[in-house]
Amino acid sequence: MRHQTPLSRRNFLLSTGLAALGGQGITTFQAARPSAAGTSAEDRAAIYLTDLNRCQPASGLSHQWKHKAWRQLEYATDSFRGTMLMATEESAAPPVTYTVKQEGWHEIYVGIFRKPFEENKQVQVKLTDDPAYTSLRGRRGETDHAENWIDEIFWKAADVTGRGITLRQITQPEVFHSWVAYIKLVPLDDQKVAELARDRKRTDTKRLFVHTDAHFSNLSGSAIEILNYLEPLRHSDVSRIYWEAGGGERALYFSKIAKDYSSDLQTGSGPSRPFFPRAYDRELAHTWQAYHKNGVDPLKVAADFTHEMGMEFHAGYRVGGFAYPPPHDPIPGGFYEKHPELLCIGRDGAPMPRISYAYPETRRYVVSLLKEIASNYPVDGICLLYNRRPPLVAYETPLVEGFKNRFGQDPRRLSETDSRWLAYRATFLTQFMRELRQALDVAASGRKLAKPLEISAVVCRGDENLPHGMDLKTWIQEGLVDTIIPFSSTVRLNSYQPSWDHPEDVDYFVSLVKETRCRLALDLLPRSLTAEQYRQKAHVLGQAGVENFFFWDGIVRVREALRLGHREEVSAWMASGQRPILPSAVRLRRLGKWDLSVETPG
């Protein structure tokens, strides 16, 4: 799904457009700035590489719209002229490289056209010897035809000596339009380079944990697309990646126990064609078919690359992922279909579409999957995603009869919130946690690791955990969990509603882990938070005692908060008036033959 940046109009004064287009090239000057922005020595020393018509190979450029080529179009701002490179729906533009003549360390920005009424333009960029691309996204267009801007999107700081900058259109899993006007370089002196090196070595800022469900289309089955997915997090405050490796009986790795999505292409018999409820589901099946064809195990590729970037890698698992509501059906002939006797049972005696962890058979199966992952992949831990499809225990026979034997009463005739019943029922998931801890210790020993594999758990708001069979206090006391991740303060795990708006919302969890070895990482929700809102929320929660922050489905949205672990920066921003966090921008005056100062609706 495309992320749409909220509209935010700036008040700029209009000035006269340029009358004609002239020469292009490298320009050193103070760029046009929003009225609220200041000027600095760095601004005045900025180098604008506007002659993108120099990109190679030349065969990848064209002065007309053409398949497999970038369209070149001359443009002008108040201060300079250049050649813009454009790629749209049918361009399928190839990667092209701009050879940088400058030397030494620079901050690198890419100028991306913000076209009125249109969605964000995007482009992938890399230095020629980088292992992967970084996706850069401009701002969504204003709702005014006169508001034509080039946003200067910060990429990174790097030594550009002898290196080129490669531009690539994003064409999968969907096509994004790319309108690139220039590359901006800001030189860094020795002092700033030293400061940058010290900052990158800091560990006290690495407070962010990022989750991904790993369900993305990659029809090429290429490892590079997995690297591109993670590369933007390099040199950020992210210290952990939580990468989903499976759920229920579905594996997101090359498993000898469970099936991955490629098996869905084999469900038809004879001339019949496998049925998929969504086009996206068919894409996933073909993605995994391509992974097998290419020998690319995404879990292994992601884990190795995450470690290369200096981060921990934890494999996530949806403990409730055996069955999903319509239009989805269970895997034909799989664990769920074969074991109707292991279903959860409701208070009324009716079977529920959930596999129960009250049964040893269920726990053995799930532990075998997690042990397979922990033994064969370079993971630093396992994360149990209890925030998806709870409960995992209800009124199954082992629970009911066990309670009767101990307390002499039928729990189905008691209140659903009876404290004895809730505590007893929770012992079954606690037993699962013990069995998992034992299995992971064996896996760690087999890998000759210096420290135990960690267990994280994404859980519910405070008062919803015990009713779902999760006794967090006991887990922490017995050392069965190393990181607790409360998903949301809303009811029913709603990730689209405001969450953790008040410090008192987290008091229970802060107290729960206080003076224990268990870490607390709070999920920052709702999903639609802006860069400013992330800072505001992190500041308040940090003062309430929260040390780490979690981003569910966060590979993209954490890009709004890559330095959120720098508490001093967040505090300074709060104290200085919480100014809008927006890129610098240059007004575009002319594009091709069009004078944009008089542009009106068509």
Per-residue pLDDT at 505: 85
Q: What is the pLDDT of residues 243-258, one digit of tens each?
A: 999 999 999 999 999 9
One fold for 26-200+582-598 and 207-565: no
* Comparison of pLDDT for 597 and 524, the residue scoring more: 524
Per-residue pLDDT at 42: 63
Question: What's the burial of 547, exposed, middle or buried (CB within 10 Å: 0-12/13-18/19+)?
Answer: middle
CA–CA separation, 58 and 591 (whole Å): 21
Give the pLDDT band (50/70/90) at residue 428. very high
How many CB atoms within 10 Å of residue 274? 14
Per-residue pLDDT at 23: 36
Question: What's the mean pLDDT in 65-93?
Answer: 97
Per-residue pLDDT at 572: 97
Per-residue pLDDT at 503: 74
Per-residue pLDDT at 5: 33
Could you tell me which of 87, 22, 23, 98 has the C-alpha nearest to residue 54?
A: 98
Give the pLDDT band (50/70/90) at residue 104. very high
Question: What's the burial of 265, exposed, middle or buried (CB within 10 Å: 0-12/13-18/19+)?
Answer: middle
- Asked whether the predicted pLDDT for residue 92 surpasses 90, the reply is yes
Give the pLDDT band (50/70/90) at residue 30. very low
CA–CA separation, 150 and 138 (whole Å): 8
Question: What's the mean pLDDT in 459-466?
Answer: 96
- Asked whether the predicted pLDDT for residue 237 surpasses 80, the reply is yes
Angle at which helix 419-446 crosses helix 397-407, to 10 degrees, equals 120
Q: What is the pLDDT of residues 479-525, one digit of tens each?
A: 999 999 999 999 999 999 999 998 788 999 999 999 999 999 999 99
CA–CA separation, 372 and 246 (whole Å): 12
CA–CA separation, 406 and 282 (whole Å): 50
Per-residue pLDDT at 272: 64
How many CB atoms within 10 Å of residue 388? 19
* Domain 26-200+582-598 coded CATH 3.40.50.1370: no
Q: Are the C-beta atoms of residues 134 and 155 closer than 8 Å to each other?
A: yes
Classify residue 556 as left (phi > 0), alpha (psi -120 to 50) or beta.
alpha
- Asked whether the predicted pLDDT for residue 38 surpasses 80, the reply is no
Compute φ and ψ for 167, nearest 5 degrees: -105, 140
Q: What is the pLDDT of residues 345-370, one digit of tens each?
A: 999 999 999 999 999 999 999 999 99
Instruction: Please name every residue paired with 343 in a beta bridge, in sequence order, or none if there are none.
Output: 355
Per-residue pLDDT at 250: 98
- Asked whether the predicted pLDDT for residue 16 surpasses 70, the reply is no
Q: What is the pLDDT of residues 205-226, one digit of tens each?
A: 999 999 999 999 999 999 999 9
Tokens 């531009």 found at: 167
Give the pLDDT band (50/70/90) at residue 460. very high
Q: How far is CA 222 from the centre of its chain?
A: 19
Per-residue pLDDT at 271: 53
Please report, as a single letter, which amino acid is at residue 198: R
Secondary structure in 3-state letters for 477-520: HCCCCCEEEECCCCHHHCCCCCCCCCHHHHHHHHHHHCCCCCEE
CA–CA separation, 61 and 568 (whole Å): 45
Per-residue pLDDT at 600: 76
* Domain 207-565 coded CATH 3.30.1300.10: no
- Count of all residues that appear for the chain in the document: 602
Spell out where 160-228 has E strands. Answer: 164-168, 178-187, 208-212
- Asked whether the predicted pLDDT for residue 6 surpasses 50, the reply is no
Instruction: Please name every residue paired with 106 in a beta bridge, in sequence order, or none if there are none.
Output: 158, 187
The sign one gets for the Cα dihedral 124, 127, 129, 134 is negative
Per-residue pLDDT at 330: 92
Tokens 């700029």 found at: 12
Domain parsing of the chain, residue ranges: 26-200+582-598, 207-565
Give the pLDDT band (50/70/90) at residue 598. confident
CA–CA separation, 180 and 111 (whole Å): 6
- Asked whether the predicted pLDDT for residue 10 surpasses 60, the reply is no
Q: Are the C-beta atoms of residues 418 and 360 closer than 8 Å to each other?
A: no
Q: Are the C-beta atoms of residues 390 and 460 closer than 8 Å to each other?
A: yes
Q: How far is CA 189 from the centre of its chain?
A: 33
CA–CA separation, 405 and 511 (whole Å): 35
Question: What's the mean pLDDT in 125-153?
Answer: 97
The sign one gets for the Cα dihedral 284, 230, 548, 373 is positive
* Comparison of pLDDT for 29 and 66, the residue scoring more: 66
DSSP, collapsed to helix, strand or coil, labels residue 352 as: strand
Question: What's the burial of 156, exposed, middle or buried (CB within 10 Å: 0-12/13-18/19+)?
Answer: middle
CA–CA separation, 337 and 433 (whole Å): 25
Per-residue exposure over 57-81, b if at least 16 CB sit within 10 Å of its own CB, e if not: eeebbbeeeeeebbbbbbbbbeebb
Dihedral angle at the C-alpha atoms of 319, 322, 324, 328, nearest 10 degrees? 140
The sign one gets for the Cα dihedral 461, 463, 466, 471 is positive
Per-residue pLDDT at 173: 85
Question: What's the mean pLDDT in 101-118?
Answer: 97
Helix (H) or strand (E) holding 315: strand 312-318
- The sheet carrying 122-127 orders its strands as 96-99, 164-168, 122-127, 134-137
* DSSP state, residue 98: E
- Asked whether the predicted pLDDT for residue 17 surpasses 90, the reply is no
Tokens of 475: 């887990």
Per-residue pLDDT at 268: 52
Tokens of 102: 């400058």
Q: Are the C-beta atoms of residues 242 and 210 closer than 8 Å to each other?
A: yes
Cis peptide upstream of residue 391 (ω within 30 degrees of 0): yes
Give the pLDDT band (50/70/90) at residue 597. confident
Angle at which helix 223-230 crosses helix 298-308, to 10 degrees, equals 40
Could you tell me which of 8, 19, 137 has the C-alpha nearest to residue 78?
A: 19
Per-residue pLDDT at 40: 57
Q: How far is CA 302 from the centre of its chain?
A: 13
CA–CA separation, 4 and 317 (whole Å): 29
Give the pLDDT band (50/70/90) at residue 37. very low
Per-residue pLDDT at 59: 98
- Asked whether the predicted pLDDT for residue 21 surpasses 60, the reply is no
